[in-house]
Amino acid sequence: MSIGPESSYSSYSSYSSYSSYSSYSSYGVPNGLNPMLTEALITNRDGIVGTHIDHIADVAPGVPDSPHNLPRLALQVRAAIFQAELGSSVDITVDSDAGLPVATLWRRTSERDGRARKVSFHEMVEMTGPTTDQLATQLKHVAGYARIRPDRAAEITTQVGVPTAFFASIGFMDPARTPHTIELIYTALNFSSLLIQRTKYALAVKRPIEFSPQVQPMIETPTHGSLPSGHATEAFLIGRLLWKLLIESKAPQYNDRAYWGAMLMRQASRIATNRTVAGVHFPIDSVAGAMLGLTLADHLHAMCRGGTWTSAMFDAPKFDPEEDFDWHKLYNAEGDDMRRKAQSDRGTWAKTRQHKERGDDTPAPALSWLWTKALAEWRDLGDDCDN
Amino acid sequence: MEKWLPNPDPDAIHVVDHVTFFRLSRADHHYADDPDAVWWSVLVEVEGISIDQFQDRVAAFADDLLIPAAYDAADRRAVHGRQPIAIYARAPLIRHINDRRSEVGVATVLLGASAPDRFLDRDAQPRELPEVIVDDDAVLQAIIDDGIGIAHELFRSSATATRIHHARIFEAEPLADGKTSVGRGLDRADIDGLLQNCAFDDMLDEDLFYARSGQVDFGKGVFSTVALRRSHGTHIMALAAGEPMSDAAQKHPIICAALPSRIVNDTTGLEMVPVLYLAFHILVKQARRFRTRAGAPVPVVFNFSYGNTGGPHDGTGIFARLFDHYFGKDAETEQKAWLTLPAGNANLERLHAVSDERTEVDGTTTLDLTVLPDDRTPTHLQIWLPVSPEDEQPNIATISVRTPFGMDEGTIVTQPGQHAALVNKAGEQIAWLAYQYIGGQTQRGLVTLSSNPTANLLETSDLGPAGQWTVTIRRNAGASKEPIHLWVRRDETLPGQTSGGRQAFFDNLHYKRFDRYGAPLPVDPRDTTCPVQRAGTLSGFACDPAPIVVAACTEQEAVLSDYSAAGPLAPSPQGPQPPRDGPDLAARGDDSFVRRGVISAGSRSGSWVRLAGTSVASPQVARLAASAIGDAAGSGREWSRDAVARDPFPLKDHPSKTRTGAGAVRTPNRMTPD
């Protein structure tokens, strides 16, 4: 679990409490590569094994392809299963339009008929790269934001890795309390990191540092492309997933209280903007990233629970480069709703559409299990606390 | 090696203000644009003529003049003995009025900050200001500061209703509505509209608000400290006028002006008085709109939490005349107005020195002036001479300046036309020493020393030398024995600003900074002969007889704060007694030695931050004053003495009257989080 955008996911394991799961091994129970323990287990067996037992009692077979197995699997094993489900749910193609690269993220569904498959692809995100002139104009924002670097330094440096703590300061997350929510978030991040990197690679948008020697970012500029911003994608993905959990929890303090959703979005926006403050992103990178993250949140939710999903188009050349990033143009926390259209004088730069669930569009049982477990962590403990 | 040229410019005798002359005569690379295309705020005092007449007299420079729309037709017609006007002008006009031979009718010229063209609207026109009717017991609070978070909940009566009836945002570009010549004017309805448009899911997006109010636009380089966690104006205005949101809060209307933070980014000098005058004029106009239901004018308490070094320090300075101009006995207004000002924080900064009988040796005082390297703004020094009539300016002293590695001295005597220029090997001028006379009520000779920055990223040939300069004052035999005061002007860059100024200071060896335990000495040692002094450091703005001047104390230790500046002042030409001894009273500037500053509003609603200084003491007194002005019969200063007597906060170090005035007052601790 150490891959990811912005070279940050190494801090996956640095989310200290989370990684304390690995302290299992300090009990020496499973899988400890401890030579002394191995030696001890050998001599121990020799000491007590006794005469071979001939009559083994009935052993029930394993339950194939069933989420019932999941609680007994190691986190890394579950993570692999989730990625197997998610990874095959998308595909990316790249072409160009008027000399600008266009990355298309496809949503893949399949009808199953025995061993036969009928696979369909639907456009989920279409993203056209910005022009160099737009980026040169956007550089003015980067220069302006540099002025508030001292004010944001602590946030920026602690958000280089996964900013779980910043969301945990809004939604009450803790490894003891919400282990599956954290697992869900990291599942989403693991999935999105591949798409982010592939999209950045496709669009090959240069970083601010390549435009001017005066940017002088306050942190290292990652080597991958600038648009979409990985931090914006991840932050809006996390924020929206959490908001969906809160809504579905039906807990009175969360249910339909849009200020929870709005606060999560404010947090996501702050994290995204901090990357511009740091000098490693243009605001337009955050626009693209927020759009991708919000869309992926819907996709993930549909993969877990079924229901609607959203397709989105981001046409960067139509974005007014004088404009800053403003998430309200993309999303409304009330109703958990992506806005249908965003325009500038140059035309429509963002469009979204909601799609209903189709027959071949069934959720993945393993992911459903994860969502159900995560959701239970947000429900109030009342009469139905067995749920 | 640089050398001094004595009296190189025969026209120097005609210069009205030598600092203005110096600032407009630098090499091109000191300006962001073509020097003649740069707009500057300028305070001119016209004598015996109206604004309209002034405009007519400089009609040849019409393209270089902007008289702000804040001056309405009545203002423009009015004729006073001397009348300060804040204008915007370009160098050709400023040079013209700064030359006595032009005979424009201008008595003084004070060059303020440069202002980018886009912050000015030359087509703006005066507008009618309708009356604002408020409750009979309402008191208006007027705040001039910088970085004011006008959307903060403490200035609202509800989520989408502000208590601010007018905010002039000098930090913002004017709107295209032609209402403001400089900055953006937001009326209450404008602010309410922004609040409504920026509220989503019952929460105000304050980042978006300040983008739309024009206070912050990173893409256009428009910056206000409201973009930071801590902003001076938000903190100060909350201390003075912050209230929890409620309908009752409407009894406390606010008007405010946010000065441009770019003002301190000027690289030819730091002078905010012109724009301050304009801000004050705008707020006075706004204040006069307010009427009670019974039709009476509404009392108003102004707070301006800024200080400065320099000025004559005898109550006759140009800022001192500001309040008098609008609310003095000749101002023809029945509106009761008080003004609270901080005493200043310069007590320990070594920016003030005195040449008098105690500090002179054989009639001579020598000052070491440390000018720091990497100072990207010029250093300005003022030397104020004793009072003398304009037609008999005596030669009081011979003043010499030596640069750190200079072989010779620049020397002038204190007589009209005297000046000296420091030039480098390439013949470029890098410093200017000159005598001028300040007439009007002040009636003193003034010697100014101005030196180029010691660092410049673009050009290095005409830098001022960094290191220890020496300034020598030799009092001439038979001349007045009255003290000569020296002031280093402030050029330190404030947090959040970018100009890169570094503060020069006096560095005489026998200035005793610490006591025997290593703690900073807050008062000059008894019988000191060091010319560098804490006594008399009171802010140059705070020397007027009218305002309530507030020192700072530290609550837990119950002592006056070390930095809090003190009197005494110099006697004025109008009488042997100075207009005041020092501050009028002290209020909390620090919670304790460890918890520096006091808590008040951060830039965003719901956040709290600390700021220290007499700046934060002053608005707490403004809050008290606002609760008293309605019923008070006397002046603000009289009230302040009564306030201390009623609710004193005894100080254990028993500071002198010149440091605390009537003593410290308890202030309500209302603007802190639960």
- For residue range A80-113, what is the model confidence (pLDDT) as tens digits? 999 999 999 999 999 999 999 999 999 998 877 7
Question: How would DSSP label each residue in B509-570?
Answer: TT---B-TTSPBPSSPPTT---SB-STT---GGGGSSSSEEEEEEETTTTEE-TT----PPP
Q: What is the CATH number of the domain that holds B204?
A: 3.40.50.200
Instruction: Collect all residues of chain A within an 8 Å Cβ-Cβ radius of residue B458.
Output: none
CB pair distance less than 8 Å for B219 and A259: no
Whether residue B359 is found in the same domain as residue B329: no
Could you tell me if B229 lies within 8 Å of chain A, comparing CB atoms? yes
How far off is chain A from B561, nearest CA to CA, in Å?
27
Selecting from B201, B220, B221 the residue whose C-beta is nearest the C-beta of A259 gives B201
- Please identify which residue in the block is written with the tokens 């002179």: B360
Q: For residues B410-432, give the mean pLDDT.
A: 96
Could you tell me if B227 lies within 8 Å of chain A, comparing CB atoms? yes
Nearest CA in chain A to B497: A147
How far off is chain B from A151, nearest CA to CA, in Å?
6
The answer to whether position B27 is within a domain reads no
CB A193 within 8 A of CB A230: yes
Classify residue B362 by burial, with Cβ atoms within 10 Å: 0-12, 13-18, 19+. exposed
CB pair distance less than 8 Å for A140 and B220: yes
Enter the DSSP assignment of A237: H
CA gap B424, B408 in Å, rounded: 13
DSSP-derived pairing of the beta strands B337-342 and B300-304 = parallel
Question: What is the 3-state secondary structure of B82-140?
Answer: EEEEEEEEEHHHHHHHCEHHHCCCEEEEEEEEEECHHHECCCCCCCCCCCEEECCCCCE
CB A351 within 8 A of CB A127: no
Whether residue B357 is found in the same domain as residue B484: yes
Q: What is the CATH number of the domain that holds B435?
A: 2.60.120.1290
- Identify the pLDDT of residue B668: 82
The residue among B479, B506, B533 that closes a domain is B506
- Identify the pLDDT of residue A362: 83
Nearest CA in chain A to B206: A266
- For residue range B144-177, what is the model confidence (pLDDT) as tens digits? 999 999 999 999 999 999 999 999 999 999 999 9
Angle formed by the axes of helices A132-145 and A258-278, nearest 10°:
100
The answer to whether position B480 is within a domain reads yes
Whether residue B180 is found in the same domain as residue B99: no
How far off is chain B from A215, nearest CA to CA, in Å?
14
Whether residue B478 is found in the same domain as residue B620: no
Whether residue B228 is found in the same domain as residue B361: no
CA gap A326, A291 in Å, rounded: 11
A305-315 b/e with 16+ CB inside 10 Å = b?
A: beeebbbbbbb
Instruction: Collect all residues of chain B within an 8 Å Cβ-Cβ radius of residue A332.
Output: 200
Whether residue B303 is found in the same domain as residue B406: no
CB A127 within 8 A of CB A292: yes
CB pair distance less than 8 Å for A144 and B219: yes
Q: Is the pLDDT at B357 greater than 50, yes or no?
A: yes
Q: Helix, strand or coil for residue B332?
A: coil
Q: How many CB atoms lie within 10 A of CB B50?
A: 18
- Identify the pLDDT of residue A256: 67
The residue among B115, B142, B167 that closes a domain is B115
Two tokens, residue A97 = 């339009």
Range of the domain at B646: 544-660
Two tokens, residue B239 = 């201390």
CB B382 within 8 A of CB B446: yes
Confidence band for B355, pLDDT divided at 50, 70 and 90? very high
Nearest CA in chain A to B205: A266
Which of A324, A325, A330, A339 is best to mutate for the B interface (most B CBs within 10 A)?
A: A324
The residue among B317, B342, B367 that closes a domain is B342
> Amino acid letter at B188?
R
Could you tell me if A334 lies within 8 Å of chain B, comparing CB atoms? yes
Whether residue B180 is found in the same domain as residue B290: yes
How far off is chain A from B604, nearest CA to CA, in Å?
13
Query: Which residues, in sequence order, are CB contacts of B564 under 8 Å at separation 6+?
Result: B343, B344, B345, B347, B551, B552, B553, B583, B586, B589, B614, B617, B659
Query: Which residues, in sequence order, are CB contacts of A71 under 8 Å at separation 6+?
Result: none
Count of CB pairs separated by less than 8 Å, A with B: 57
CA gap B671, B674 in Å, rounded: 9
- Which H helix or E strand runs over A271? helix A258-278
The CA-based angle B289-B293-B297, given to 5 degrees, is 40
Lowest mean pLDDT among B30-34, B88-92, B162-166: B30-34
User: What's the whole-model pTM score?
Assistant: 0.92
Confidence band for B250, pLDDT divided at 50, 70 and 90? confident
The answer to whether position B16 is within a domain reads no
The answer to whether position B669 is within a domain reads no
Which of A134, A141, A148, A271 is best to mutate for the B interface (most B CBs within 10 A)?
A: A148
CB pair distance less than 8 Å for A258 and B201: yes
Selecting from B201, B219, B496 the residue whose C-beta is nearest the C-beta of A141 gives B219
Q: Is the pLDDT at B448 greater than 70, yes or no?
A: yes
Confidence band for B641, pLDDT divided at 50, 70 and 90? very high
CA gap B336, B315 in Å, rounded: 21
Whether residue B258 is found in the same domain as residue B302: yes
Residues within 8 A of B (CB atoms), A 127-146 only = 137-138, 140-141, 143-145
CA gap B140, B625 in Å, rounded: 11
Q: Helix, strand or coil for residue B241?
A: helix
CA gap B524, B533 in Å, rounded: 6
DSSP-derived pairing of the beta strands B598-601 and B39-47 = unpaired
Question: How would DSSP label each residue in B393-442?
Answer: ----EEEEEE-TT-SS-EEEESSTT-EEEEE-TT--EEEEEEEEEETTTT
Average pLDDT, chain B: 93
Nearest CA in chain B to A335: B201
Could you tell me if A256 lies within 8 Å of chain B, comparing CB atoms? no
- Please identify which residue in the block is written with the tokens 């980067």: A142
Confidence band for B131, pLDDT divided at 50, 70 and 90? very high
CB pair distance less than 8 Å for B203 and A262: yes
The CA-based angle B234-B235-B238, given to 5 degrees, is 80
Q: Is the pLDDT at B281 greater than 80, yes or no?
A: yes
Q: Give percent above pLDDT 70 in chain B.
A: 97
CB pair distance less than 8 Å for B203 and A263: yes
Q: Is the pLDDT at A238 greater than 80, yes or no?
A: yes
Selecting from A145, A150, A334 the residue whose C-beta is nearest the C-beta of B218 gives A145
Whether residue B148 is found in the same domain as residue B268: yes
Domains by residue range for chain A, with CATH: 131-308+318-376 (1.20.144.10)
Whether residue B171 is found in the same domain as residue B237: yes
- For residue range A151-170, what is the model confidence (pLDDT) as tens digits? 999 999 999 999 999 999 99
Whether residue B335 is found in the same domain as residue B365: no
CB pair distance less than 8 Å for A144 and B201: no
Two tokens, residue B606 = 């719901």
Which of B201, B203, B264 is best to mutate for the A interface (most A CBs within 10 A)?
A: B201
Domain count, chain B: 4
Which of A134, A138, A151 is best to mutate for the B interface (most B CBs within 10 A)?
A: A151
CB pair distance less than 8 Å for B229 and A151: yes
- Identify the pLDDT of residue A30: 52
How far off is chain B from A37, nearest CA to CA, in Å?
55
Q: Helix, strand or coil for residue B445?
A: strand
Instruction: Collect all residues of chain A within an 8 Å Cβ-Cβ radius of residue B220.
Output: 140, 144
The answer to whether position B398 is within a domain reads yes
The answer to whether position B613 is within a domain reads yes
Confidence band for B406, pLDDT divided at 50, 70 and 90? confident
CA gap A224, A202 in Å, rounded: 11
Classify residue B358 by burial, with Cβ atoms within 10 Å: 0-12, 13-18, 19+. middle
How far off is chain A from B618, nearest CA to CA, in Å?
26
- For residue range A244-295, what is the model confidence (pLDDT) as tens digits? 999 999 999 997 689 999 999 999 999 999 999 999 999 999 999 999 999 9
- For residue range A183-212, what is the model confidence (pLDDT) as tens digits? 999 999 999 999 999 999 999 999 999 999
The answer to whether position B670 is within a domain reads no
- Please identify which residue in the block is written with the tokens 């993203």: A127
CA gap B571, B586 in Å, rounded: 23
CA distances, B386 to each of B309, B351, B357, B488 (Å): 18, 19, 13, 18
Could you tell me if A170 lies within 8 Å of chain B, comparing CB atoms? no
Instruction: Collect all residues of chain B within an 8 Å Cβ-Cβ radius of residue A145.
Output: 218
Q: Is the pLDDT at B535 greater than 60, yes or no?
A: yes
Q: Helix, strand or coil for residue B150?
A: coil
Could you tell me if B77 lies within 8 Å of chain A, comparing CB atoms? no
Nearest CA in chain B to A150: B496
- Single out the residue of B300, B302, B322, B297 nearest to residue B311, CA to CA: B322
Confidence band for A21, pLDDT divided at 50, 70 and 90? very low
Q: Helix, strand or coil for residue A197?
A: helix
Question: What is the 3-state secondary structure of B574-605?
Answer: CCCCCCCCCCCEEEEEECCCCCCCEEEECCCC
CA gap A259, B474 in Å, rounded: 71
Instruction: Collect all residues of chain B within an 8 Å Cβ-Cβ radius of residue A263.
Output: 203
Q: In this structure, what is the dihedral angle of CA atoms B432, B433, B437, B443, given to the nearest 10 degrees?
A: 120
Q: Is the pLDDT at A3 greater than 50, yes or no?
A: no
- Single out the residue of A333, A234, A255 nearest to residue B203, CA to CA: A333
CB B415 within 8 A of CB B395: yes
Instruction: Collect all residues of chain A within an 8 Å Cβ-Cβ radius of residue B228.
Output: 148, 151
Could you tell me if B458 lies within 8 Å of chain A, comparing CB atoms? no
Could you tell me if A28 lies within 8 Å of chain B, comparing CB atoms? no
Whether residue B320 is found in the same domain as residue B190: yes
Q: Where are the alpha helices (DSSP H) in B261-394?
A: 273-287, 320-327
CA distances, A316 to each of A130, A225, A279, B112 (Å): 5, 15, 20, 43
The answer to whether position B14 is within a domain reads no
